[in-house]
Chains A and B, each alone.
Chain A
Amino acid sequence: MVEFVLERGNYWAIIGLMMIGLYIAFAATNLIKRLVGLGLFQTSIILFYTSLSRISGGTAPILYGKDYKSSYEDKDSHGETAANGAEYAGEAATDAAYGYTNAGLENVYSNPLPHVLMLTAIVVGVATLAVGLAIIVRIREAYGTVESDEIREMDLQVALAEAQDEADELSLASGATRG
């Protein structure tokens, strides 16, 4: 039981952080604070993916030692990709037989794929953040405030005034036809 909790404690902590970010994005009326909350949420998701990619006893996915050097040593014996493919198949079979993941390599590395996906997610995140901030700046110039409830209030006033105007015009027109 304790082991079960320890193995998943990281996920629960990350879910907690995620929920704090979600709370900020929901509860804050200030639009900039909302974007900070969304940023917190995004960082927590990146934390979650990277923690899934970790392998205990592993290291960063940068080949070192024999894993990388041998590619230079037997450069002459390269050239038959078909043979390489067969080699992979054989290695995969031994992997499956021994239930060991990094059998083809000397060292244990963490999974590089989530790293790549999250790396690009961070950069796209800052790009979308910039667009969001630009929209907030324009909202500030149009409404004079960045508090969402005040903006909603102003929109409501404008809509009510427009409805009132329309009603007045209608009653005027109907009065004119009647008169």
Chain B
Amino acid sequence: MNGDHHVILRVVAKALIPIIALFGFYVHFHGEYSPGGGFQAGVILAVSIILYSLIFGIAPTMRAVTPGFARAVAAFGFLLYTGVGVVALIRGGNFLDYDALIRDEPGGHLGQHVGIIVIELGVLFAVAGSMVTIFYAFAGRVSEIRDEDW
């Protein structure tokens, strides 16, 4: 990764990667109104990190997003999802009963909206963290095929 032959790729990627990450969050928060949701947003966020590591090398990526952090995010996402269910239990509803989350006037759906956004956030964290962890596990190994052999 020392040549100047990737200069166009690097310049374009530098501009694109933040937009890809931003698009991931857009997909998440618009999941109620348009196609998308936590799964797709998590995958898109993971893709932006994977794209960075493909172009700038695995070592700088692992310094920016450490493998431990990726693992912690995955675990946190799963716990966030379960936590919403437990909070609903504590507030007197069934497990994952979002209507119990927020006491609203009858006919209101604030609990549903909040519940869906939060559990989708849990899905986003879990999927993005798991995918980045999986990618690190593969990319962290020393490859048998050198760059020139392609």
Name which of B4-12, B77-85, B134-142 contacts chain A: B134-142
Q: Name A68's closest neighbour in chain B (CB-CB).
A: B33
Among the listed A76, A123, A130, A134, which residue makes an inter-chain contact with B39, where contact means beta carbons less than 8 Å apart?
A123
CB within 8 Å: A-B pair count = 24
Q: Chain B contacts of A137 at CB under 8 A?
A: 138, 141
- Given that A79-B106, A79-B107 are known contacts, is A62 also in contact with B138, CB under 8 Å in the complex? no
Interface of A, helix, strand, loop or mixed by DSSP: helix
The distance in angstroms between the C-alpha atoms of A133 and B134, with both chains bound, is: 10
Q: Name B38's closest neighbour in chain A (CB-CB).
A: A123
For the complex, is A60 an interface residue (Cβ under 8 Å from B)? yes
**Pair B141/A62 contact, Cβ less than 8 Å:** no
Q: Chain A contacts of B121 at CB under 8 A?
A: none
The distance in angstroms between the C-alpha atoms of A127 and B137, with both chains bound, is: 13
**Number of B positions contacting A (CB below 8 A):** 14
Q: Name B130's closest neighbour in chain A (CB-CB).
A: A127
Q: Chain B contacts of A78 at CB under 8 A?
A: 106-107
For the complex, is A119 an interface residue (Cβ under 8 Å from B)? yes
Q: Chain A contacts of B106 at CB under 8 A?
A: 78-79, 81
Q: Chain B contacts of A134 at CB under 8 A?
A: 137-138
**Pair A60/B137 contact, Cβ less than 8 Å:** no
**Pair B35/A62 contact, Cβ less than 8 Å:** yes
**Pair B138/A133 contact, Cβ less than 8 Å:** yes
| 6 A-B pairs closest in CB distance | A78-B107, A79-B106, A79-B107, A130-B134, A123-B39, A75-B107
B contact residues vs A (CB 8 Å cutoff): 33-35, 39, 43, 105-107, 127, 130, 134, 137-138, 141
